[in-house]
Structure 1
Amino acid sequence: MMGIEEIKRIIPHRPPMLLVDRVTELVPRRWLVGSLTHTGDGPLPVSLLIESWGQAALVLIRHDRPMPDVLTDGVPVAGVFEHVRFGRPVLPGETVEHRVTMQRLVADTAFVTGESVVGPETVMRIGRLVGAMRPADSLRPSRPAVAALAGEAAR
């Protein structure tokens, strides 16, 4: 249904941090099935598994309102992941399928849930992700904060 080029038109992620290869099913504002084939040498780190699932969720949330440029379209922010459970690791060459269900969408805040599977095995469950969009300027540190960080780095 959707390959990398279509996904890149919806979300701002780009290789090497684009972690969704394709979307095979999408019912607007309801659910999505997307996937990633793991091409690394060792097991897929759980941090990248979570990021990949989150990107699939973002495609569901934003498919009708693309945001390929965070400077003009806003920055997706994962506010909280709740009740995350992991199964076995995703191994090189395996394709992990992400299943995402939208619970609610309120203005710029989304509530989604789901799981990731490899074949018949569940490798991760997400009880809930709460995510929101924020203007890029609102996420820039203030000048005093930048100066403080620069001072600490110089020590």
Structure 2
Amino acid sequence: MKRLLFYLLLILQIAILFLFGVQYYFIDDYGRTVQLLSKHEEMTDTYGSYNQHTAYIDYEINFIAADAWEIAEEVDYNTKIYVLLDADSDGVFHVVKATDRKIDAEQDQVVFQGKYQYYNDMQKEYHVTYGIESFHPDFDFDHSGRNQSRITVQLAPWGQKKVTHIENLQ
């Protein structure tokens, strides 16, 4: 009996490790497509060796205006923040509100989970990161342009995010 239980637990552990390994690839099949805009003209910097580049993007949704910040008390660095996004007529998502409690999204909205970084007193905005600001692109994109870009992100039902396309806007 103990041996059977040992083998069942071993198989369960292997299955869980396998699921952790492949969940990134399931995002394309089960994820929701979200269009975002970059914040700055110089939105992408690539660095690294010939084979491996890392892109860094500041999104508009990284910077949350004080009137959309629905948290009454001061929060600590890296505090979990829930940001409600709504699509405009072009299909680009923008911040509606941010809170430290889970939010229910309506049909045309999504919720991104992020981490609080800091408050910019001069700009009167909060800075939140989502884990998609720095990534290794597994697709070709023109990183020579320094204009604003539209970034396609896949959002999985379990909250994981993946950048799938970058389009420079002229």
Flag whether TM exceeds 0.5 (same fold): no
* Structure whose residues are more often helix by fraction: 1
Higher-Rg structure is 2
Higher relative contact order (CA 8 A, sep 6+): 2
**Alignment TM-score, normalising by the size of structure 1:** 0.32
**Alignment TM-score, normalising by the size of structure 2:** 0.30
